[in-house]
Amino acid sequence: MADIPRNALSRSLRMASLPASYAGRTALGLGKRVGGKPAELVTAELQARTAEQMFRVLGDLKGGAMKVGQAMSIFEAAMPEEVAGPYRAALIRLQEAAPPLPADRIHAILAEELGTDWRARFAEFDDVPAAAASIGQVHKATWHDGRVVAVKVQYPGADKAFISDLNQMTRMGKMFASWIPGMDIKPLLEELKARALEELDYLRESRNQRQFAAAYEGDPEFVVPHVLAAAPHVIVSEWIDGRPLSAIIADGTPEERDRAATLYERFLLSGPARAGLLHADPHPGNFRITPDGRFGVLDFGAVAELPDGLPDAMGTLLRIALSGEADTVIAGLRAEGFIKAKVDVDPEQVLAYLDPFVEPARHETFHFSRAWMRGQFGRMNDMRNPDFTIGLKLNLPPSYALIHRVWLGCVGVMCQLDATVPMRAELEQWVPTFAAAP
């Protein structure tokens, strides 16, 4: 396979094939129904073909195209079940793999990044990639001192491809919105675009990973691999064996699901307090349950710097919302920039709209499920519901953009896991002022 297609026109045409092909298949399906084929069978065929083409196009293009596919896969739990089935397998496949680059291209990149004697650094190097993702692929190797390592190599042209894809996909927001009815896709695409350059900077990612590894060194529950070498487009770090979180979503036992979800939530919440960083790419492909039962964490490209931990206002407002003090919540939301000064809102309607964010905190343990998430998305985006207009009046301050992304992603994955999680204790331990707020 060649490098990532870089030409903006050719990439745009490939992505444009998604809605065009969908329209063509819809017309064909109408013809089949008129011809007597059962409507249910025709619909199932159309959804399966569309899902498969989505995986193939977004996976082959890599870059921002696949990154969006991975981000979308977190929220498949919000899809109506009759739609989610055909798409679920294709979306989850995007969490774990993409077509790889050939060995000769990888060798050339390693020579450029680590020096022409790069092979001397390794006792062994496996040319067959262990994983291939949105902007790079990973090879398993043995470091010169005998340690097994992961060699992460960025695809040539990933930067240009990433920006080109996200520009094009922003224009295609209506099609993506159709995959999850009611979800406003544009803010997600804009946020991904804004963070693209940071995720492409492997030296920055290596610093993030080193900081996390130091903070969780020796932890009995978590393992973060140490970085051994880094260059602008290559990271060499310790190898982590383990069962991917996506595999537990697919076939884990109830006990495995509950434990994985608890550790997943605990890591995401504890990062700001322990490392001063928030891991901001919560899709399941970045997490493993290791053979010794620890929660392994990978991929530190998307990280928010929070040296003072999560904002104090988060815990305070959440606790006040639980008490039902609507006017006090409104005042706090205005102070944090979630409601602009000239916007009038009904305090009780705001509390009702925020219920999906507040409800899990009401319980010592909470069961996250696809049915619950679909119900919440449906309620929040039902134009017949008087609370619907509240969402149009709320603002997301830039300082909360990644926090919001992580929280929604975390909830989406826990719903995929169909897990019961000890919410109250985790919030009290890791969210500042939540336990102490009025």
pLDDT at 81: 52
Report the pLDDT value the prediction gives residue 398, as an integer from 0 to 100: 74
Q: Which residues of the chain have pLDDT under 70?
A: 1-99, 133-134, 161-197, 380-383, 386-388, 436-438
pLDDT of residue 387: 64
| pLDDT tens-digit map of 366-378 | 999 988 888 887 7
Contacts 24+ apart (CB under 8 A), 99-104: 99/1, 99/59, 99/60, 99/62, 99/132, 100/1, 100/129, 100/132, 100/137, 101/1, 101/3, 101/129, 101/132, 101/137, 101/153, 101/155, 102/1, 103/127, 103/128
Write the DSSP string, 296-334: EE---SSEEE-TT-S-HHHHHHHHHHHHT-HHHHHHHHH
Kindly report the number of other CB atoms within 10 A of residue 282's CB atom: 25
Q: Provide the pLDDT for residue 409.
A: 86
What's the pLDDT tens digit per position in 169-191?
Answer: 666 555 555 544 434 456 656 66
Mean pLDDT estimate for the chain? 78
User: Can you list the domains of the chain with their CATH numbers?
Assistant: 8-96+162-196 (no CATH), 103-158+200-238 (3.30.200), 312-430 (no CATH)
Nearest Cα to Cα of residue 110 among 268, 286, 235, 240: 235
Give the pLDDT score at 420.
Answer: 98
DSSP character string of 363-422 = SSSEE--HHHHHHHHHHHT-TTSTTHHHHHH----GGGHHHHHHHHHHHHHHHHHT-EE-
pLDDT at 19: 42
DSSP secondary structure of 138-169:
EEEEEETTS-EEEEEEEPTTHHHHHHHHHHHH
Give me the pLDDT at residue 337, please. 85
Q: What percent of the chain has pLDDT over 90?
A: 41
Cβ neighbors of 338 (< 8 A, separation 6 or more) are 394, 395, 396, 397, 400
pTM metric for this prediction? 0.76
